[in-house]
Amino acid sequence: MKIKQTLAALLLACCTALAPFSASAAPITELALVVDASGSIDSDEWSLQMNGYANAINNVVPTDGSVGISVIRFATTATVVRGMTTISDATARTDLANFFVGLSKTDDGFQTCISCGIFKAEGTFSGSAQRSIIDVSTDGFSNEGVNPAGSAAITGTSAWAVENGKADVLNVIGIGPSASTNFAYGPGSFSLLANGFDDFQDTLEEKLRREIVVPEPATLGLLGLGLLGIAGIRRKSA
């Protein structure tokens, strides 16, 4: 009896793990990509950054509906330039990549308000994903708004977003030696540093691969079939 109960529990777990891959299921992971558009970034660097996002999305992000992505652009202030969108097929992924290629650089000043970007990102999550991640990229440090490494009691900090908002974790990718990455926050949070905009894409791809954890459907399917086979053999030998 205990073996049968164990097999039933494992089969249920397998089916539950496979469920997020259906077209109607909520994403496993939602990423709010918070992009630095401050005055320290010139037009060539902005183009490298946007093409880096476009290529990394095409190379890393799956098209099975397990990932949702929003985009927030910040400088002196911040704007949600693309709401949370589930990447449910190749067309949706290509559309997002093309969006980055066509995204213009903001002209709202030279300041860097990272906390503005965090505040806007927190509001883009649907609340239905298993994991919600704020993903900040910057080539500098915060000189507008509040210190993003401040306490959870201060609106706009990474601790505020994780402890009082919808985000599970905030990760950081720095670009160049002047970038501050000391405000990553939450269980398993991390930061990465690209040497410059020429290296940004490779570092971003590494970052996205660590953030997007998707079970392999084929592996889960084989597990389910194996469990069914064990159950069948046991019935025959009973």
pLDDT at 213: 73
Least confidently predicted of 2-6, 104-108, 131-135, 166-170 = 2-6
Cα–Cα distances in Å, from 130 out to 22, 40, 127, 133, 169? 15, 36, 8, 10, 12
150 half-sphere exposure, CB direction, 13 A CA radius: 14
Which tens digits make up the pLDDT trace of 32-56? 999 999 999 999 999 999 999 999 9
> Contact, 36 vs 138, CB < 8 A?
yes
Average of pLDDT values for 209-220?
Answer: 66
Residue of 14 and 46 predicted with greater confidence: 46
Q: What is the pLDDT of residues 77-91, one digit of tens each?
A: 999 999 999 999 999
% of the chain exceeding 70 in pLDDT: 78
Would the pTM of this model clear 0.85, i.e. be above it? no
Sign of CA dihedral 97, 127, 16, 220: positive
For position 106, what pLDDT does the model report?
Answer: 77
Q: Is 171 helix (H, G, I), strand (E, B) or coil?
A: strand
The sign of the torsion formed by the CA atoms of 62, 65, 67, 71 equals positive
Q: Give me the chain's average pLDDT, please.
A: 85
pLDDT at 110: 80
The whole-angstrom separation of Cα 154 and Cα 161 is 10
pLDDT of residue 162: 97
The 10s digit of each residue's pLDDT in 152-205 is: 999 999 999 999 878 999 999 999 999 999 999 999 999 999 999 999 999 999
Residue 219 has pLDDT above 90, yes or no: no
